[in-house]
Every structure is written in structure tokens, then in C-alpha cells.
């Protein structure tokens, strides 16, 4: 049986499926029609053998229609319960940059276009000026990316997520790394570095202070935090006496007022000479206690450091 070049709308679905069998070959076509019953597949197979002399233009039109419907369905399935690029919302700016920085400017622009303006430009500013310029130019061309291209880009980026380090695995230096180094130094040495940083780069100093916990920070905590920390049973009263050696009496009295009554009675100030090294070791031991309590969730170090920032 022959068939002329009728319009697609005039062709019954059976004929379109039969022609697809001819175009794709039966083995490939069967993978496309997995949801069809055996009886319907048999009808398509028979009809495919009946149709003769189908023009190449009609075959092309049917193939394009099928491809468009397939990609549209794929898009709908991907965005049924969430946006196509919703997986990006789970990443922080550092992770997003890591994910897209090796992509083409067009792909980077498409990914960035999924965010709010504020976050979009926050991530964009991580790129060099030349790359940033190329990305900005691509924003104007995003509407020209076909639907299937958008879907494919989203799927490829989603696959790459499994290779991205978690937020805690990133280490790019900066304030946090500096604070980590300072925490390993003696108090005198770390204070010298902090002082130098404050003179050379006040902004960097403020960032470092967000991560660097000093003994003085513990003396300047808000009262409700003082009550939590200084009453901790792990606090060694003799160690505290050494740590407070050399501080003004008003500061010492203020700290002692937060101790349990029993420890207040036990507290004995150091009146004999004490080496600076011993005093520093005592202070570092108390700072370490604070860090340990922070890790255990018993002390909010962010609140301690935030209070330190306000004082600065």
C-alpha cells in the first residue's frame, strides 16, 4: 500500500508509529515503545510492512515530531516536582563555582541565570574579568538554546555534582586558614601577627577574628554565655588562677562571680612570680576547653566571636 504526502495532522497514530519502525529499525523502535502491549506492537509491525513509498520529507517530519514530543516529555518529567535546575539550590557559592568554572561561557550563563540577581553576581564575581565579560555576553543569547539543549545541560551538571567536595572539604586559604595557623602559635606570637594584620589589612583582620578564639574573648563574653562556660565542671580552678595572673582585679572578680560557689571559695590567686609560658599554657588550655565545648554543641562559639567583633 502506498501513501502520499498528507500533512502530519491527517495521519493516524498507527501510521506514524509504523513509519518510525521503518526509520529507526524494529530493534531500536521497540526500545522507544516499551509501554505498548504486544498486540499493538504487532499491529505496528504489520502496518509498517504495508506502507510503501513514504517520501523522505514525510519521514523527516514524523521523526522531528517524535523527537520534539520525546524531549518535551523528558522536560516535563524532570520538572514535575521541582525546577529543572533545582539541584543547584543545594550548593553554596563555592560549590557552584567549582561545578561550572570549567564549562563554556554559555553553560555558565545558563546556570547562573537560575539564581537571584544578588547570588548571580556574587558567583559571577569569582571569575576573571575576561571570563566574566564573555559570560555576560552569553546572557543575551540564552533564549536561543533549544529545549533539548537546556535539558541536556541540566542533566550533565547534575551528574557532575557527585564529584564536588562538600562545603567542609574546601580549603582555599584566606581568613579561616590564617586563624587556624594562629591558633597553633603561642599567645604572644599570635597577638603579634593579629596586630600586624590589623595594621596592614583591617578588613582581613575582621575576617580572621571571626575564626580565631583568644582567651580575652572568653573574658569578654556576654553574661548569659559566661554562666554557661565558667560553671563548667571541666574547668580547672588552679589553671584559671594561672590564666588570670596579671589581669586587673576587676576582671578577675567578674570572672570569679560566675564560678560555682564551691569553686569561688577554692579560688586562690597566684601571688608568686609566674613565667609567661606557664600563664599562656593555662590560657590555651582554657581556650581549648571552650573549643571542645563548641564542638560538642554545649557552647556557641559564633556568639562568643560575634561579641568580640562588636567590641572591636
Give the model's pLDDT for residue 229: 92
* Closest alpha carbon to 9 in 57, 65, 50: 65
Domains 86-167 and 213-311 share a fold: yes
Give the model's pLDDT for residue 242: 95
Residue pointed to by grid coordinates 513509498: 53
Q: DSSP character for 166?
A: P
Instruction: Please give the backbone phi and psi of residue 2, each rounded to the nearest 5 degrees, phi first.
Output: -95, 165
Dist CA 109 CA 138 (whole Å): 6
CA dihedral 260, 264, 270, 275 (to 10 degrees): 10
**Could you tell me how many residues make up the chain?**
312
Q: Answer for the pair 107, 136: CB distance below 8 angstroms, yes or no.
A: no
What is the chain's pLDDT, residue by residue, as a tens digit (312 residues)? 444 444 566 778 888 888 888 887 777 777 666 677 778 888 888 888 888 887 788 778 877 777 766 665 554 554 443 478 888 888 888 888 888 988 999 999 999 999 988 888 889 888 888 888 889 888 888 888 888 888 889 888 988 887 776 654 444 556 777 777 776 676 777 778 888 888 877 877 888 877 788 888 899 888 989 988 999 999 999 999 999 999 999 999 999 999 999 999 999 999 999 998 899 899 989 988 988 888 788 888 777 776 655 444
Dist CA 24 CA 35 (whole Å): 17
Dist CA 65 CA 99 (whole Å): 34
Within 13 Å of residue 87, how many CA atoms lie on the same side as its CB? Answer: 15
* Distant-in-sequence, close-in-space partners of 184: CB < 8 Å, separation ≥ 6: none
- Domain coordinates in residue numbering, the chain: 8-78, 86-167, 213-311
Q: What is the CATH number of domain 86-167?
A: 1.10.220.30
- In the chain, count of helices (H) and strands (E)? 19, 0
Give the model's pLDDT for residue 58: 79
CATH fold, domain 213-311, is Annexin V; domain 1 (1.10.220)
Which pTM value belongs to this model?
Answer: 0.42
CA angle 246, 247, 249 (to 5 degrees): 115
Distances in Å between the Cα of 244 and the Cα atoms of 253, 288, 310 are 10, 16, 23
Amino acid at each position: 500500500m502506498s501513501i502520499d504526502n498528507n500533512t502530519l495532522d491527517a495521519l493516524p497514530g498507527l501510521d506514524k508509529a509504523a513509519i518510525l519502525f521503518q526509520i529507526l529499525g524494529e530493534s531500536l523502535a521497540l526500545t522507544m515503545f516499551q509501554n505498548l502491549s504486544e498486540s499493538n506492537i504487532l499491529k505496528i509491525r504489520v502496518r509498517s510492512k504495508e506502507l510503501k513509498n513514504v517520501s523522505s520529507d514525510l519521514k523527516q517530519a514524523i521523526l522531528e515530531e517524535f523527537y520534539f514530543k520525546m524531549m518535551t516529555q523528558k522536560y516535563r518529567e524532570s520538572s514535575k516536582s521541582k525546577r529543572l535546575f533545582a539541584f543547584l539550590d543545594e550548593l553554596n557559592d563555592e560549590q557552584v563555582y567549582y561545578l561550572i568554572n570549567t564549562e563554556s561561557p554559555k553553560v555558565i550563563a545558563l546556570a547562573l541565570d537560575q539564581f537571584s540577581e544578588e547570588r548571580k553576581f556574587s558567583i559571577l564575581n569569582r571569575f576573571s574579568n575576561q571570563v566574566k565579560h564573555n559570560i555576560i555576553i552569553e546572557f543575551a543569547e540564552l533564549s536561543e538554546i533549544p529545549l533539548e539543549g537546556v535539558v541536556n545541560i541540566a542533566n550533565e551538571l547534575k551528574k557532575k555534582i557527585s564529584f564536588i567536595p562538600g562545603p567542609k572539604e574546601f580549603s582555599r586559604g584566606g581568613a579561616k586558614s590564617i586563624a587556624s595557623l594562629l591558633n597553633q602559635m603561642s599567645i604572644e606570637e599570635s597577638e603579634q601577627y593579629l596586630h600586624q594584620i590589623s595594621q596592614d589589612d583591617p578588613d582581613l583582620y575582621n575576617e580572621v577574628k571571626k575564626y580565631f578564639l583568644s582567651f580575652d574573648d572568653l573574658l569578654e563574653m556576654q553574661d548569659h554565655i559566661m554562666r554557661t562556660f565558667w560553671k563548667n565542671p571541666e574547668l580547672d580552678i588552679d589553671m584559671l588562677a594561672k590564666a588570670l595572673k596579671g589581669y586587673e582585679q576587676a576582671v578577675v572578680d567578674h570572672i570569679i562571680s560566675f564560678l560555682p560557689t564551691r569553686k569561688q571559695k577554692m579560688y586562690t590567686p597566684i601571688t608568686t612570680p609566674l613565667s609567661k609560658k606557664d600563664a599562656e599554657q593555662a590560657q590555651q588550655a582554657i581556650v581549648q576547653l571552650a573549643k571542645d565545648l563548641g564542638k560538642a554543641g554545649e557552647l556557641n562559639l559564633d556568639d562568643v566571636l560575634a561579641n568580640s567583633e562588636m567590641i572591636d
